[in-house]
Chains A and B, each alone.
Chain A
Amino acid sequence: MARDDSMYWNPIMETLPREKLQQLQIRKFKRIFEWAYNNSPFYRNLYKAAGIEPGDIKTYEDIKKVPKTDKGMLRDVQSRPPFPYGDMLAVPLNQVTEFRQTSGTTGTPVYQADTWQDWDWWAECWAYILYAQGYRDTDRFFVPFGYNIFVAFWAAHYAAEKLGCEVVPGGVLDTEARVMKMQELKCTAFGATPTYVLGMADTARKIGIDPRSIGIQKITCAGEPGASIPTTKKRIEDAWGAKVYDHIGATEIGAWSYMCLAQKGLHVNEGMFLVEIEDTETGEIIDTPMKNGKMVITAFDRIGKPCIRFDSKDVIRWADYDCECGRTFRIIDGGVVGRADDITKVKGVLLAPTAIEEVVRSFSELSDEYEVVVTKKGDIDDIMLKIEIRPGFESQQPDILNRLKDQLRVKTNLGYKIEVHPYESLPRYALKAKRFKDLRGDH
Chain B
Amino acid sequence: MATEYKVSEMAAKIAEIRKLADELDSMCGGIQAVKKNIVRLLSSTKMLELNVSDIKDFV
Contacts and interface: CB of A to CB of B under 8 A. Distances in A.
B2 A11 contact: yes
B54 A24 contact: yes
Interface in B4-47: 5, 7, 39-40, 42-44, 46-47
Given A12-B7, A15-B2, A120-B43, A301 B50 contact: yes
A175 B46 CA distance: 38
Contacts of B59: 12, 16, 20
A123 to B, nearest CB: 8
A115 B39 CA distance: 10
Contact of B1 (A2, A12, A13): A2
Contacts of B58: 16, 20-21, 23-24
Interface in A249-306: 271-272, 301
A117 B1 CA distance: 35
Contacts, number: 54
Contacts of B39: 116
Contacts of A272: 50
Interface in A1-25: 2-3, 5, 10-13, 15-16, 20-21, 23-24
B54 A28 contact: yes
Given A121-B50, A272-B50, A12 B55 contact: yes
Contact of A117 (B5, B42, B52, B55): B42
Given A20-B58, A24-B54, A28-B54, A11 B3 contact: yes
A358 interface: no
A124 interface: yes
B47 to A, nearest CB: 5
Nearest to A22: B58
Interface centre among A3, A10, A13, A27 (most CB of B within 10 A): A13
Contact of B43 (A24, A28, A116): A116
B51 A117 contact: no
Nearest to A300: B50
A13 B55 contact: yes
B2 A5 contact: yes
Contacts of B42: 117
Contacts of B50: 121, 124, 271-272, 301
Contact of B51 (A10, A20, A116, A119): A10
A84 to B, nearest CB: 22
B6 to A, nearest CB: 11
Nearest to A17: B58
Given A16-B55, A23-B58, A24-B54, A120 B5 contact: no
A271 B49 CA distance: 12
A287 to B, nearest CB: 21
A5 B3 contact: yes
A23 B56 CA distance: 12
Nearest to A303: B46
A23 B57 CA distance: 10
A12 B5 contact: yes
B55 A120 contact: no
Interface centre among B3, B7, B42 (most CB of A within 10 A): B3
A16 to B, nearest CB: 6
7 contacts: A12-B5, A20-B58, A23-B58, A24-B55, A28-B54, A271-B50, A301-B46
Interface of A: 2-3, 5, 10-13, 15-16, 20-21, 23-24, 27-28, 115-117, 119-121, 124, 271-272, 301
Given A11-B3, A23-B58, A120-B44, 11 more contacts: A2-B1, A12-B7, A12-B55, A16-B55, A16-B59, A21-B58, A115-B43, A117-B43, A121-B46, A271-B50, A301-B50
